[in-house]
């Protein structure tokens, strides 16, 4: 397969699709809308999981596991939830196959389920059905639980990582004695997500709340983090929901308070998914391939030997081994690619495509001079470095690259937040520059809907740092008390 990618400014969407496949992140499977996450892509996801899992545990959460299947009737118990989720989903109706008289395998109609099972699109219902048994007293609260799981939503148009029928995610589900505690939890997890996005993915995000029409089905408030991709479209990277007492009431989860009263429990839920992989690709990568922040790169440093014959390779290997040992001792992941099946030029292109942050090349002249050539993936710059300085330079550079990717993405993001005063400007910015548009909104779902119809832009969030000012709505001209962020979004 050719390594040449479509250029971003030719066709961003095609560039993304090609890159995900060529960099061995994922591919489509024989099952409609379901992807195969390939080892290299999965290694990045494992790094994402490990960091998030650590952060969840440090904030007092524990992991558990709940069933894949949810009885159909569970969904009916929370009215807005069923409309939002249960309808486009995989339905299990039978539990057996059999051979027909020609030996063909068919569904056994005698093995029809009394009640259909839904493959979980999200687990609030099955979890709150369980929490009823776990919560009796205020002593059982808070319940701070997370699960890593696969979920299925029957999307009609799918794209690798961004929108797939099956995806991997984590879903936190917490139960609290008071409204205040649940609100604090929902905001805290928004903060954890923002911290992870910025400090590990090097992806700046805006924290805000969703408007009513963009809220999670069953939530009273949805806290989101919104990122901006290089094509000027926004991407919702994580959400944290304050669910009030909706699920507690639907599933009758009550507790005895300190004062001896029976009260309904307060709830939150929050999740991020393999969609983050798409966000990661679209935030940093370029026309040569992936650009990965060092903290999430499965291989942080690759070493490519340049040699003729076994003798030269042996000489290089000898020089390189102590460097590898020192880097590994510092927790830096290194690959020494000494395969003789591929030429150095091929390897250079391969590791550029795969976004390895630092590449070391070492040949016979370097052996003579005790040097190596060190190349940065993000800037595509090279320098000759003395072998004795290499380890400390690499340590410094990895931190610098992590920082620099964030700074660059932040500069792009900040230069793509445009405040507009009227709807003509709104449309013009959207068509030409893209990015986030900050504008007054009159607070009605009607205006929100009309803007979406006319421009495909939606309200991404009401930013946390918005000030209460007064102005007039960018669309209706009516009095407005809040500025919100619009954008076209993934």
Cross-strand partners of 119:
69
Contact 173, 153 (CB under 8 A): no
Shortest gap between Cβ of 32 and its own copies (angstroms)?
A: 9
Nearest approach in angstroms of CB 118 to its own copies is: 8
Q: Pick the binder of its own copies from 48, 52, 152, 282 (CB under 8 A).
A: 152
The rounded distance, in Å, linking the Cα atoms of 371 and 61 is: 48
Taking CB under 8 A as the criterion, which residues in 343-402 touch its own copies? Answer: none
Residue 66 touches its own copies, criterion: CB under 8 A: yes
Q: How many Å apart are CA 61 and CA 27, to the nearest integer?
A: 33
Q: Which of 48, 24, 46, 47 is nearest to 36 (CA)?
A: 24
Distance CA 480, CA 343 (A): 63
Nearest to its own copies of 72, 188 (CB atom): 72
The CA distances from residue 266 to 132, 145, 212, 240, in Å, are: 12, 14, 19, 14
The window from 112-120, 263-271, 363-371, 414-422 that contacts its own copies (CB under 8 A) reads: 112-120
Measuring CA to CA, which residue among 317, 311, 362, 281 is closest to residue 26?
Answer: 281
**304 scored as a contact of its own copies (CB under 8 A):** no
470: its two tokens: 């007064």
DSSP per position, 73-88: HHHHTSHHHIIIIISS
Q: N- to C-terminal Cα distance for the chain?
A: 28
Tokens of 443: 């607070």
| Tokens read off for 242 | 């304050």
Cα–Cα dist 228/67, whole Å: 35
Residue 161 burial (CB < 10 Å; 0-12/13-18/19+)?
Answer: buried
Which is nearer to its own copies, 34 or 324 (by Cβ)? 34
List 76, 180, 314, 392, residue binding its own copies (CB under 8 A) = 76
Q: Which of 4, 9, 13, 62 binds its own copies (CB under 8 A)?
A: 62
The interface with its own copies within residues 32-51 (CB under 8 A) comprises 34-39, 42-43, 45-46
Residue from the set 7, 14, 54, 87 that interacts with its own copies by CB under 8 A: 87
Residue 313's nearest CA partner among 286, 283, 336 is 336
In the stretch 314-343, what mask flags binding to its own copies with x, by CB under 8 A?
Answer: ---------------------------x--
- Segment interacting with its own copies (CB under 8 A) among 5-13, 90-98, 176-184, 469-477: 90-98
Query: Considering only residues 27, 179, 414, 419, which one is a binding residue for its own copies as defined by CB under 8 A?
Result: 27
Comparison of 150 and 444: residue with beta carbon closer to its own copies:
150
Considering only 12, 154, 264, 348, the residue that binds its own copies (CB under 8 A) is 154
Q: Is 133 in the site for its own copies (CB under 8 A)?
A: yes
Are 201 and 66 in contact by the 8 Å Cβ rule? The answer is no
Instruction: Between 129 and 366, name the residue whose CB sits nearer to its own copies.
Output: 129
What is the footprint of its own copies within residues 168-197 (CB under 8 A)?
168
> Per CB under 8 A, which region of 116-124, 232-240, 320-328, 378-386 contacts its own copies?
116-124
- Omega within 30 of 0 (cis) for the link into 452: no
Residues forming the site for its own copies (CB under 8 A): 27, 29-31, 34-39, 42-43, 45-46, 62-72, 74-76, 82, 86-98, 104-105, 107, 116-119, 126, 129-130, 133, 139, 145, 149-150, 152, 154, 166, 168, 341
């Amino acid at each position: 397969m050719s390594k040449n990618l479509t250029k971003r400014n030719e066709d961003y969407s095609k560039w993304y699709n090609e890159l995900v496949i060529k960099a061995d992140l994922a591919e489509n499977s024989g099952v409609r809308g379901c992807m195969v996450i390939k080892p290299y892509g999965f290694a990045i996801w494992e790094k994402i999981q490990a960091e998030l899992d650590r952060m969840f545990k440090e904030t007092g959460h524990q992991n558990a596991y709940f069933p894949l299947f949810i009885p159909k009737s569970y969904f009916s118990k929370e009215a807005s939830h069923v409309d939002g989720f249960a309808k486009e989903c995989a339905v299990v109706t039978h539990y057996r196959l059999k051979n027909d008289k020609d030996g063909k395998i068919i569904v056994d109609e005698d093995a029809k389920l009394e009640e259909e099972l839904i493959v979980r699109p999200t687990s609030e219902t099955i979890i709150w059905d369980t929490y009823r048994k776990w919560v009796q007293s205020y002593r059982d609260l808070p319940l701070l639980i997370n699960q890593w799981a696969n979920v299925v939503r029957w999307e009609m148009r799918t794209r690798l990582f961004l929108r797939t029928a099956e995806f991997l995610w984590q879903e936190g589900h917490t139960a609290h004695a008071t409204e205040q505690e649940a609100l604090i939890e929902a905001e805290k997890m928004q903060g954890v997500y923002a911290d992870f996005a910025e400090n590990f993915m090097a992806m700046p995000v805006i924290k805000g709340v969703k408007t009513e029409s963009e809220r999670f089905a069953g939530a009273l408030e949805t806290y989101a983090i919104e990122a901006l991709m290089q094509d000027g479209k926004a991407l919702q990277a994580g959400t944290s929901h304050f669910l009030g007492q909706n699920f507690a009431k639907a599933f009758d989860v009550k507790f005895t308070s300190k004062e001896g009263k029976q009260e309904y429990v307060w709830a939150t839920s929050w999740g991020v998914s393999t969609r983050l992989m798409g966000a990661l690709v679209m935030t940093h990568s370029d026309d040569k391939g992936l650009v990965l922040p060092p903290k999430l790169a499965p291989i942080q440093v690759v070493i490519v030997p340049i040699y003729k014959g076994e003798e030269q390779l042996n000489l290089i290997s000898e020089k390189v081994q102590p460097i590898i040992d020192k880097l590994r001792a510092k927790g830096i992941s290194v690959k020494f690619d000494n395969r003789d099946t591929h030429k150095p030029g091929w390897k250079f292109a391969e590791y550029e495509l795969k976004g390895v942050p630092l590449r070391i090349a070492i040949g016979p002249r370097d052996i003579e001079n005790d040097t190596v050539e060190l190349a940065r993936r993000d800037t595509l710059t090279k320098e000759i470095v003395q072998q004795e300085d290499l380890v400390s330079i690499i340590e410094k550079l990895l931190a610098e690259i992590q920082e620099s990717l964030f700074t660059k993405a932040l500069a792009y993001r900040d230069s793509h937040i445009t405040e507009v005063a009227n709807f003509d400007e709104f449309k013009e910015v959207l068509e030409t520059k893209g990015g986030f548009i900050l504008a007054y909104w009159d607070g009605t779902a009607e205006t929100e809907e009309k803007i979406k119809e006319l421009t495909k832009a939606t309200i991404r969030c009401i930013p946390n740092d918005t000030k209460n000012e007064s102005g007039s709505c960018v669309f209706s001209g009516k009095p407005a008390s809040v500025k919100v962020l619009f954008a076209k979004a993934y």
